[in-house]
Amino acid sequence: MPISLDDLKKVELRGTTKSASISPDETLTAVFKVSEPDYVPPKVKLRARVDSNLFTGSFVAADLNEIESDANVVSLALSKALNLIE
């Protein structure tokens, strides 16, 4: 069952609309802003740290509601996949 982004308040999207739906098994990448320095939510794999409260990470879409409801997550901006140019 696809995940709707309509009710998520901390999620920012670039290049798509909030009414878009995502497959639960899809791997997503996002830029996270957190309130606690060096904090990474349990279901998120750290990719790169910008500073102590800002980093990029990846996670499975099925975990999006749990991550979004994490009190230490201020916001997350989902990355849009880019088309490969050959």
| Phi, psi torsion values for 22, nearest 5 degrees | -125, 140
Give the residue from 55, 62, 63 showing the smallest Cα distance to 79.
55
Contact 57, 30 (CB under 8 A): yes
Residue 16 has pLDDT above 70, yes or no: no
- Average pLDDT of the chain, as a whole number: 83
3-state secondary structure of 23: coil
Tell me what pLDDT residue 84 has.
58
Question: In this predicted model, what pLDDT tens digit does every residue of 29-55 receive, in sequence order?
Answer: 999 999 999 999 999 999 999 999 999
Taking CA atoms, 57 is separated from 4, 14, 19, 86, in Å, by: 20, 16, 23, 27
Question: With bands split at pLDDT 50, 70 and 90, how would you rate the model's confidence at 23?
Answer: confident
